[in-house]
Amino acid sequence: MLQEIRVLQTGSQILAGFLVVLPFQSRFEDLDRLQIGWYLGLLLLALVIVALLLTPVGMHRRLFRQRVKDEMVVVANTLLRAAILLLGLLLTGVAGFVVDVVLTRPAAAVTLLVMLAMMALLLVTLPARIARRADR
């Protein structure tokens, strides 16, 4: 589980870093109010994801050899699942945001719908289908 967290942390931290430096780009001033709000929402979501992914690592360091492994695994699994779902939302939101800035708002809406459907399929439907098959 910690290896999975390490992989997710790297990607989410890079994305969060990108979002943090975005306001310092000259084109940022061209964003409208909706885009600025969208950006701030994405930034906060990215930081929440990083916090969710760091928590199991911090717990592991703090509770190492405290005989609470089973409880830690349950909590870490819950945090990891939440982080994965939120990361799917973040990727969807970033894709829509970029398309909105580069192309048009209607194109961004289509991108959001397609990405949301893809993330739901990959992160929710597919694992549920595999779990049902395994239960048979």
| Burial label, 123 (beta-carbon count in 10 A; 0-12, 13-18, 19+) | middle
The domain segmentation of the chain, as residue ranges, is 2-135
Spatial distance between the Cα atoms of 88 and 96, rounded to a whole number of angstroms: 12
Q: What are phi and psi of 103, to 5 degrees?
A: -110, -105
Instruction: List, for residues 23-42, the tens digit of each pLDDT value.
Output: 667 777 889 999 999 999 99
pLDDT at residue number 128: 92
Spatial distance between the Cα atoms of 58 and 42, rounded to a whole number of angstroms: 24
Segment 86-109 mean pLDDT? 94
Instruction: List, for residues 81-97, the tens digit of each pLDDT value.
Output: 999 999 999 999 999 99
- Decide: 6 and 51 in contact? Cβ < 8 Å: no
pLDDT at residue number 7: 66
Q: Indicate the pTM of the whole model.
A: 0.81
In 22-125, which residue ranges form alpha helices assigned H by DSSP? 33-63, 69-102, 105-120
